């Protein structure tokens, strides 16, 4: 591959490896720092050898880590332990990747690899369903290869790939049939996982992409195509997804489970006593474990972030997002909006603040936005 001969081939390879870890990490839930150490060491050595300087705007991640240290040090709920160091190392990993310059063609090479990864992942999910290798609760993951991953975390890979494919479908006049086939293949695998939030996110992304094009260019042809896509997705879920799985989406009580609401609100009272700095890293897990609930975690990374790092942490996070948005080229707005939808809605139903779940979206958005500010990422003819 010609792009491997380019200047930044090593960081590009490491980025591809990091994306693979989101799927194949040998842990049930969010990949830990132990899983990404094979990327962290080479990337830090690369930056040292290449004498890469940290971009000044990235020091906000250091402030975010420092705030986490303070909140944890003075917390009455959390213990000041290695999770705080892990949090800092993930922030440093994000800073290192964001400090490296990628060209748009290198990022398009990454997108091609990511699409391949998502199709491979979808194939493993479908094979797991076909051979009856169930993850549990009528849900399927990649258990066919002996790795038990929670379907919620596998879906995060599929959803970002759907964003990339939707962007290409909307902006490129070529390969329309192939792209529709890829979307349906990923959607079918997504439905087999039985993850309601993921299927809902995928549908939101599809509807948003077509509405954006309709409003922007007044091309009502896309309204018909988008409507047909959503209709076909519904037909697939109803007629081809096994009944015990589709019941999770179509059943009368499919969205009436109050367990998540209990988990999300369980830490609200102690949070209000520490709303400024937050309860400290790991505090929500410790507090929730003493409440006698079915689980001992929040199942909502962004709410966990608010509870554990307080208003100060939230302000710092919004400053990071603001800086990302300011760098986006106007030609890339649709791509980034789809990326935000598919990256941040799913993690509102997952765990992993001190893990790759929280930091992967920031790594990707930092890299893509810093390239977008130099040159548009779009290579498609509209």
> Which of 50-64, 124-138, 198-212, 368-382 has the weakest average pLDDT?
368-382
Determine the Cα–Cα distance for residues 163 and 98; give it in Å rounded to an integer.
21
Residue whose entry in the numeric block shows the structure tokens 């009455």 = 76
- pTM for the model: 0.87
Specify whether 368 is located in the same domain as 247: no
Residue 343 lies in a domain: no
199 and 316 share one domain = no
N-term to C-term CA, the chain? 27
Within-domain flag for 56 = yes
Residue ranges making up the domain that contains 174 = 104-251
Same domain flag for 157 and 269: no
DSSP string, 100-166: S---HHHHHHHHHHHHHHHHHHHHHHHHHHHTT---SSS---SGGGT----HHHHHHHHHHHHHHHH
pLDDT (average), residues 286-293: 70
Domain match, 236 and 270 both: no
Query: What's residue 246's pLDDT?
Result: 53
Q: Are residues 90 and 109 in the same domain?
A: no
Does one domain contain both 174 and 236?
yes
Residue 258: is its pLDDT beyond 70? no
Domain boundary among 218, 251, 284: 251
Higher-pLDDT residue of 358 and 220 is 358
Q: Residue 230 has which token pair?
A: 């959503």
Residue 339 lies in a domain: no
The domain total for the chain is 2
Residues 96 and 124 both lie in one domain: no
Dihedral sign (CA 361, 362, 364, 369): positive
- Mean pLDDT for the chain? 82
The reported pLDDT for the residue numbered 368 is 95
| 3-class state of residue 334 by DSSP | helix
Whether 100 has a pLDDT exceeding 80, the answer reads: yes
Please state, in angstroms and rounded to a whole number, the distance separating the CA atoms of residues 17 and 377.
22
The answer as to whether 378 is a domain residue is: no
């Amino acid at each position: 591959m010609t792009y491997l001969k380019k200047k930044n081939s090593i960081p590009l390879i490491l980025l591809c490896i990091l994306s693979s870890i989101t799927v194949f990490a040998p842990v049930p839930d969010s990949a830990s720092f132990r899983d990404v150490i094979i990327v962290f060491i080479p990337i830090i050595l690369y930056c040292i050898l290449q004498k890469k300087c940290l971009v000044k705007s990235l020091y906000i991640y250091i402030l975010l880590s420092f705030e986490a240290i303070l909140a944890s040090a003075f917390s009455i709920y959390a213990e000041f332990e290695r999770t705080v160091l892990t949090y800092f190392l993930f922030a440093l990993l994000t800073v290192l990747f964001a400090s490296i310059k990628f060209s748009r063609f290198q990022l398009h090479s990454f997108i091609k690899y990511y699409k391949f990864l998502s199709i491979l992942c979808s194939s493993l999910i479908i094979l797991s369903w076909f051979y009856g290798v169930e993850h549990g609760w009528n849900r399927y993951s990649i258990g066919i290869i002996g790795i038990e991953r929670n379907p919620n975390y596998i879906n995060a890979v599929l959803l970002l790939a759907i964003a990339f494919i939707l962007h290409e479908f909307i902006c490129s006049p070529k390969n329309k049939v192939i792209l529709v086939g890829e979307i349906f293949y990923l959607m079918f695998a997504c439905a087999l996982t039985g993850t309601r939030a993921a299927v809902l996110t995928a549908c939101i992304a599809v509807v948003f992409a077509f509405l954006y094009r309709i409003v922007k260019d007044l091309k009502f042809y896309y309204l018909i195509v988008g409507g047909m896509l959503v209709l076909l997705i519904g037909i697939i879920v109803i007629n081809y997804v096994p009944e015990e799985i589709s019941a999770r989406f179509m059943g009368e009580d499919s969205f009436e489970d109050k367990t998540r609401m209990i988990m999300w609100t369980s830490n609200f009272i102690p949070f209000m006593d520490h709303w400024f700095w937050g309860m400290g890293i790991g505090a929500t897990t410790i507090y929730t474990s003493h409440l006698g609930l079915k689980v001992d975690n929040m199942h909502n990374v962004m709410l966990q972030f608010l509870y554990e790092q307080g208003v100060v942490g939230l302000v710092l996070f919004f400053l990071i997002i603001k800086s990302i948005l300011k760098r986006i080229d106007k030609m890339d707005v649709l791509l980034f909006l789809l990326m935000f939808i598919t990256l941040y809605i799913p993690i509102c139903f997952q765990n992993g603040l001190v893990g790759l779940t929280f930091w992967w979206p920031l790594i990707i958005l930092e890299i893509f936005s810093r390239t977008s500010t130099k040159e548009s990422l779009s290579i498609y003819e509209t």
